[in-house]
Structure 1
Amino acid sequence: MTETDAIVTLITLFEREGYARIEPPVLQPADVFIDLSGEDIRRRMFVTQDASGAELCLRPEYTIPVCLHHLHRHGAQPSGYSYGGPVFRMRPGESGEFLQAGLESIGRKDVSAVDAEILALALDGLKQFGGPAPVVKLGDMGLLHALIDALGIAPAAKRRVIRAIVSGQGLASLAEPDAPGAQEHAGLLAAIEGQAPQAAKAFVEDILSIAGIARVGGRSAGEIAERFLARAANRTGLPDDARQVLERYLTIAGDPDQAAHAVRTLAKDSALDLDAALSLFEARTGFMAARGLDVSSFSFAATFARNLDYYTGFIFEVQDPRRGDGKPVVGGGRYDHLLEHLGADAPIPAVGCSFWLDRIVGRP
């Protein structure tokens, strides 16, 4: 089966389940992806400019273009979409142009049920290609956010903690506020920490421009700004007791039922209210079981986080055990605030997933 055949197979399945196919334009506004997917995406995008100088990019993924389509056509009304076609992203050792297929559910308020539905459809899709039982990894950004909020961690520190976890570096990568050199340029660092990367970089560049600084030590104003952003990202005001609770949380792993029990025990021991986030977690597990999914075979890890800024809740990856590189063949999750950032008047619940077809059909 070719990758094109695989798209037809998946779209047929998804349309049968009520996910209508759409195909957003290949050329997309670059700033949207940088603002919402994180600065890391810029290094992997293929960027150009239009006649007015505005930055455009070849579509690096489908979720944001599908959300923009939804906002323009349906607003807050629930809709389901499927897609299949080329995306463009620089990937070491792999082609920069590759085919993806996937689906997005936007606007449904039965959050736990639709989370389970998306995972079930992802696994149903993989069944179309045969092979052994896949490895399913689960995470929950909603639980992490709820824990950090319950600990009373300040917004700027919260952003740093989440980035440390998402990057895989862990809490040990966060510098202490009294570490050597931590107070150098403290005023500027305090002004930019917690800001969106593009806004923070523009602020630093403006300060340098006002001071008449173009280059220092061979570095341009933009490069100097990047160094300040990195310094700001390493500042933290994480209290010892909060750090200890977070470190304990990050050791939690097991099937979803085991994980829920461990988080409830942690919440009780730490006198934290995580009931709302845990209820969603447990309801989702129940809907998965109701769909006939073997939840005992799924692996939850508190350290598992997908490296895109817009995920807010349930996240997952599916791996083919025959692959030796550990790269997912399907990945997705919940992104309830993305459409608001794109212009919606209020948050709109949304969840989806994408298939890496070159890793499925063209498996080594």
Structure 2
Amino acid sequence: MTETDAIVALIALFEREGYARVEPPVLQPADVFIDLSGEDIRRRMFVTQDAAGAELCLRPEYTIPVCLQHLAQRGAEPLGYSYGGPVFRMRPAESGEFLQAGLESIGRTDVSAVDAEILALALEGHARLGGPSPVVKLGDMGLLHALIDTLGVAPAAKRRVIRAIVSGHGLASLAEPEGSGTQEHAGLLAAIEGQAPQAAKAFVEDILSIAGIASVGGRSAGEIAERFLARAANRTGLPDEARQVLERYLAIVGDPDQAAHAVRALAKDADLDIGPALTLFEERTGFMAARGLDVRSFSFAATFARNLDYYTGFIFEVQDPRRSDGKPVVGGGRYDRLLEHLGAEAPIPAVGCSFWLDRIVGTP
């Protein structure tokens, strides 16, 4: 089976389930990916300009383009979409153009049911393409956010915690560096702390320009701004009690039922009210079981996170056990705040997944 054949097979499956095929433009506004995608995509984008000087990029993934097209044409109307075609990212020792297929469900409020539906279709699609019995990894950014919020962690510290977990560095990376001149630049660091990265960088570059500083020690104004951003990110500490609770949470692994039991025990011991997020987690597991999925074979890990910034809830990856690199062949999750960031008047629930076709029909 070729990758093109795989797209045909997957689109037929998705359209059978009501996910109409769409094909957003290959050229996309670069700023939305810079602001809303993870660092892994931001640094791999192919960027260009139009005649007016506006920055554009070759489509690095499909979720944001599908969401932009949905908002422009259908607003908050609940709809499901499927897609299949080329995406473009710089990849070491691999082609920068490769084929992906996937589906997005936008606007449905039966959150637990549609989460289970997306995972079920991901596994059915993988089986249709001849993949072996897969390894399924689950996570839940919604549980993590609920836990951090209930602990009363300050917004800046919360961003640092989420960033540390998503990057795979863990809480150990949150230790504040010593002797780095933090006090000397306290005013500037306080001014940029909590700002969006692009806005903070522009602010620092403006300050350097006003001061007539083009470079210091061979570093450009942009590079100096990046260093100030990194220093500002390390200013906010995590209280010891919150750290202890988070460390216990991040140690939780097991199948979804085992994980739910462990999270309930943690919430009880620490007197934390995360009931709604945990109920959603358990409801999702129930819908998975109702679809005939073998939830006991799935592996939940509290540390599991995907390298896209817009995920807000359920996340998953499907892995081929024959691959030695651990890269997923299917991945997806819930992103309930993305469409609001893209211009919707209110949050719109959404969830989806994508297939790396070259990893499925190619040689492991």
Shorter-chain TM-score bucket reads over 0.9
Look up the match of 2:355: 355
Q: Does 1:333 align with 2:333?
A: yes
1:71-114 CA-to-partner distances (Å, cap 9, x unmatched) read 01111110000000000001122211000000000000000000
Match status 1:117 vs 2:132 = no
| Corresponding position of 1:172 | 172
CA deviations on 1:254-284 (whole Å, 9 max, x unpaired) are 0000000000100111010010100000000
Tell me the residue number matched to 1:59.
59
**SS of aligned partner of 2:85:** strand
Distance in 2 (CA, whole Å) between partners of 1:280 and 1:293 is: 17
User: Contact 2:20/2:81 (CA < 8 Å) preserved in 1?
Assistant: yes
Whether contact under 8 Å (1:39, 1:197) holds in the other structure is no
TM-superposed CA distance for 1:40, in Å, is 4.2
Instruction: Tell whether 2:269 aligns with 1:273.
Output: no
Give the count of matched residue pairs.
363
Q: Check whether the contact 1:252–1:301 (CA below 8 A) recurs between aligned residues.
A: yes
Matched residues in 2 for 1:39 and 1:165: separation? Answer: 13
Q: Which amino acid aligns with 2:340?
A: E
Counterparts of residues 16-165 of structure 1 (less than 5 Å): 16-165=16-165
Equivalent residue letter for 1:180:
G
Q: Deviations over 1:275-315 (max 9, x none)?
A: 01000000000000000000000000000000111000000
Name the SS for the 1:44 alignment partner.
Answer: coil
Q: Is the CA contact (8 Å cut-off) linking 2:39 and 2:308 kept in structure 1?
A: no
Q: Does 1:11 align with 2:11?
A: yes
SS in 2 for 1:308: coil
Q: How much identity, in percent, do the aligned residues show?
A: 88
Aligned to 1:246: 246
Residue ranges of structure 2 left out of the alignment (5+ in a row):
none
Contact 2:7–2:101 (8 Å) recurs in 1? yes
- How many Å apart are 1:217 and its aligned residue? 1.2
Which residue pairs with 2:313 in the alignment? 313
Letter in 2 for 1:224: I
* 2:195 alignment counterpart: 195
Letter of the aligned partner of 1:330 in structure 2? V
When the two structures are superposed, what TM-score results if normalisation uses the length of structure 2? 0.98
Once the two structures are overlaid, the 10-residue window that deviates more, 42-51 or 80-89, is: 42-51
1:143-192 deviations in whole A, cap 9, x for unaligned? 00000000000101100010000000000001238x43343412212221
Q: Does 1:283 align with 2:283?
A: yes
Does the 8 Å contact 1:118/1:353 carry over to 2? Answer: yes
Structure 2 residue matching 1:329: 3-state secondary structure: strand
Q: 2:197 & 2:104 partners in 1: Cα distance?
A: 27
Cα distance in structure 2, aligned partners of 1:44 and 1:131: 28
1:113-158 alpha-carbon deviations (Å, 9 max, x no partner): 0000000000000110224210000000000000000000010110
* Counterpart residue identity of residue 179, structure 2: P
Partners of 1:341 and 1:259 lie apart in 2 by 31
Task: Tell me if the contact between 2:131 and 2:360 (Cα under 8 Å) persists in the aligned partners.
Answer: no
Distance 1:6 1:38 in 2: 27
Q: How far apart, CA to CA, are the structure 1 residues paired with 2:40 and 2:127? A: 33
Deviations 1:18-68 (A, max 9, x none): 000000000001011000114443320011111111111100000000000
3-state SS of the aligned residue for 1:276?
A: helix
Opposite residue 257 of structure 2, the aligned amino acid is: D
TM superposition score normalised by structure 1 = 0.98
Contact 1:175 1:236 in 2 (8 A): no
